[in-house]
């Protein structure tokens, strides 16, 4: 039986989602728990390979079991065995061809920036930026990123292509906290963290919004933006 599980996790406790030798990862912890339940090896596929330190509220994972177990009992069994920095929110039965990454229709991520005083308690869960940002200019700049584009200027590493679609970007400020919410088809390695870095460059007054358009069109990182820290990034949801 093929299943889809929606899971949340504290990314600060793991070396990312994808399994690595000699490092604790979300995928490995899930596979250990599911293998124990199944009594034979289970492989887990994730909707997104979140980096070390990136968090999730509703990541999608798919896997196959040899045993017959209903979804409510499977959820309970996984949560009783899994590392306590991971929690299974829901489990669904799927058809035999379902794949958590290839069948995803839309992903939502959120980035959290603290523009106020340094917060040591939440340092693993926000970007402690510590300076005011011009939200109006950031919103103007973000509009260039929406739509179908090549995001090569904002993606780390080599790919066959860098094309994707961002459906919307919403920027809000609540007291000292800035929330940037991205909704799109696919996001590549460091893509959101690089886009946030470029938006911060605009919001800080060091560059104008038009630089986003220039980088999209030239497919080159023409301005020295930072890759924002993983601690502020959350995979909010995956739609199927």
For residues 85 and 202, the answer to whether their CB atoms sit within 8 Å is no
- Model confidence pLDDT, tens digit, residues 191-220: 999 999 999 999 999 999 999 999 999 999
Closest CA to 125 of 229, 197, 21, 236: 229
pTM confidence score:
0.95
Contacts of 96 (CB under 8 A, 6+ apart): 2
Annotated catalytic residue within 51, 103, 119, 176? 51
Structure tokens at 116: 């106020």
Closest CA to 239 of 100, 51, 56: 100
CA separation for the pair 204, 199 (Å, rounded): 9
Which architecture characterizes domain 106-239 according to CATH? 2-Layer Sandwich (3.30)
DSSP state of 50: P
- Model confidence pLDDT, tens digit, residues 39-62: 999 999 999 999 999 999 999 999
Report the topology of domain 2-94.
Alpha-Beta Plaits (3.30.70)
pLDDT at 33 (0 to 100): 98
Q: What residue segments make up the domains of the chain, in order of their start?
A: 2-94, 106-239
For residues 163 and 149, the answer to whether their CB atoms sit within 8 Å is yes
CA separation for the pair 3, 94 (Å, rounded): 5
Same fold, 2-94 and 106-239: yes
Catalytic residue status for 51: yes
């Amino acid at each position: 039986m093929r299943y889809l599980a929606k899971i949340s996790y504290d990314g600060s406790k793991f070396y990312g989602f994808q399994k690595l030798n000699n490092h604790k990862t979300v995928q490995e912890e899930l596979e250990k728990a599911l293998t124990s339940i199944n009594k034979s090896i289970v492989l887990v596929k994730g909707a997104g390979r979140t980096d070390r330190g990136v968090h999730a509220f509703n990541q999608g994972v798919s896997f196959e079991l040899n045993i017959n177990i209903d979804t409510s009992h499977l959820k309970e069994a996984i949560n009783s065995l899994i590392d306590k920095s991971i929690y299974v929110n829901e489990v669904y039965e799927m058809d035999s061809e379902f794949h958590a990454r290839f069948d995803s229709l839309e992903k939502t991520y959120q980035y959290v920036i603290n523009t106020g005083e340094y917060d040591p308690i939440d340092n693993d869960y926000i970007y402690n930026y510590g300076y005011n940002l011009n939200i109006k200019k950031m919103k103007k700049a973000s509009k260039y990123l929406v739509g179908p584009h090549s995001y090569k200027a904002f993606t780390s590493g080599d790919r066959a292509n860098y094309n994707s679609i961002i459906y919307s970007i919403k920027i809000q400020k609540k007291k000292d906290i800035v929330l940037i919410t991205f909704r799109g088809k696919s996001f590549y390695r460091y893509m959101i963290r690089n886009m946030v870095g470029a938006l911060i460059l605009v919001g800080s007054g060091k560059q104008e919004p038009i630089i986003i358009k220039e980088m999209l069109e030239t497919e080159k990182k023409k301005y020295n933006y930072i890759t924002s820290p993983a601690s502020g990034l959350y995979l909010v949801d995956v739609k199927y």
